[in-house]
Amino acid sequence: YADLYDLKVEQILPLERMAQKSAENLVKGVENSKNIPFERVLYALGIRFVGETVAKKLAKHYKNIDTLSQASVMDLVLVDEIGERIAQSVIEFFENPENRIIIDRLKNFGLQFETIEIVNPNATDKLSGKTFVVSGVFEQFSRDELKKAIEDNGGKVGSSISAKTDFVVAGANMGPAKLEKAVQLNIPIISENDFMGMINQN
- For 144-182, the pLDDT digits (tens) are 889 989 999 999 999 889 999 999 999 999 988 999 999
Cα–Cα distance between 193 and 188 in angstroms, integer? Answer: 14
Which residues, in sequence order, are bridge partners of residue 167?
A: 132
The CA distance from 97 to 92, in Å, is 10
For residues 36 and 18, is the Cβ–Cβ distance under 8 A?
no
Q: Could you tell me the CA-to-CA distances from 27 to 10, 43, 81, 103 in Å, in that order?
A: 10, 22, 37, 20
Q: What is the pTM of this model?
A: 0.63
Among 197, 196, 165, which Cα is nearest to 183's? 165
Give residue 21's pLDDT: 67
The Cα-based distances of 3 to 93, 108, 166 in angstroms read 20, 12, 45
Cα–Cα distance, 96 to 112 (Å, whole number) = 21
* pLDDT at 22 > cutoff 90: no
pLDDT at position 41 over 80: yes
Report the alpha-carbon distance of residue 83 to residue 130 in Å, rounded.
Answer: 20
Which domains does the chain carry?
A: 2-34 (no CATH), 36-108 (1.10.150.20), 131-200 (3.40.50.10190)
Q: What is the mean pLDDT of the chain?
A: 87
Please tell me the distance from the alpha carbon of residue 97 to that of residue 103, in angstroms, as a whole number. 10
Burial class (CB in 10 A: 0-12, 13-18, 19+), 17: exposed
The residue among 111 and 21 whose pLDDT is bigger is 111
pLDDT of residue 71: 96
Rounded alpha-carbon distances, angstroms, from residue 31 to 10, 19, 92, 163, 190:
16, 19, 29, 43, 41
What gap in Å lies between CA 115 and CA 57, rounded to an integer?
11
